């Protein structure tokens, strides 16, 4: 929901940084791998309830994720790079929730509900992207990406904000997980309604 408002603010500095990185020879896949490495560091920090470190690693991981796309577009974006990017993203989002529960097992049920809810948003996102690509639905208005980014209530900005919130206020995890999980299902429903409209048999 907020991504379309945030992107015009963060894209210019990310693009400028990508131009400089491209000159060094660093590849987009390298940044994706570095981002995944910091995700793993965040997981370890969460397991040991080191929430300050977890926030730091989450921010760095998402910075790498924000940079790898613009860097790829400085040279040539590849399908393999898009694949690595989306896989590492989903590992990150579900991993933060899982390892939060590792550190606080009493939150396992709410964590399971949240990861379950992520499956709704992830599957509706990817299923729409696959059919959109098959039908040649244009997504240039969102910038050149490997996937069609269908809007929803819970997008990247909201999800990252949630993950930082639970690190700042770990005692509120259960409430945050149930509320955000409910919003994820509203997003899934909205995307399904959109798919019904867009993918009618012709």
The CATH code of domain 3-198 reads 1.20.120.1760
Alpha-carbon distance of 182 to 3, in angstroms, equals 19
- pTM equals 0.86
The domain segmentation of the chain, as residue ranges, is: 3-198
Q: What is the DSSP string of 132-192?
A: HHHHT---GGG-S-SS-----SS-HHHHHHHHHHHHH-GGGHHHHHHHHHHHHHHHHHHHH
Model confidence at 45: pLDDT above 80: yes
pLDDT at 198: 84
Distances, alpha carbon 54 to alpha carbons 43, 95, 155, 164, in Å: 7, 12, 21, 9
pLDDT at 138: 59
Nearest to 183 by CA among 147, 157, 148: 157
110: pLDDT confidence band, cut at 50, 70 and 90? very high
Of 5-14, 43-52, 58-67, 106-115, the poorest mean pLDDT is in 5-14
pLDDT at 6: 75
């Amino acid at each position: 929901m907020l991504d379309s408002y945030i992107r015009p603010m963060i894209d210019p500095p990310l693009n400028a940084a990508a131009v400089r990185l491209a000159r060094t020879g660093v590849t987009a896949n390298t940044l994706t791998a570095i981002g995944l490495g910091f995700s793993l560091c965040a997981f370890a920090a969460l397991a040991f309830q080191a929430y300050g470190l977890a926030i730091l690693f989450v921010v760095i991981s998402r910075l790498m994720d924000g940079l790898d796309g613009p860097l790829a577009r400085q040279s040539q974006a590849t399908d393999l790079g898009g694949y690595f990017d989306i896989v590492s993203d989903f590992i990150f989002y579900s991993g933060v929730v899982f390892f939060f529960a590792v550190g606080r097992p009493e939150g396992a049920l709410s964590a399971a509900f949240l990861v379950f809810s992520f499956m709704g948003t992830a599957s509706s996102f990817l299923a729409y992207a696959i059919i959109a690509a098959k039908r040649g639905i244009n997504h240039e208005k969102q910038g050149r990406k490997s996937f069609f980014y269908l809007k929803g209530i819970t997008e990247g900005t909201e999800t990252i904000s949630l993950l930082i919130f639970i690190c700042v206020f770990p005692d509120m995890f259960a409430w945050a997980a149930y509320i955000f999980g409910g919003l994820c299902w509203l997003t899934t429903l909205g995307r399904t309604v959109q798919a019904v409209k867009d993918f009618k048999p012709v």
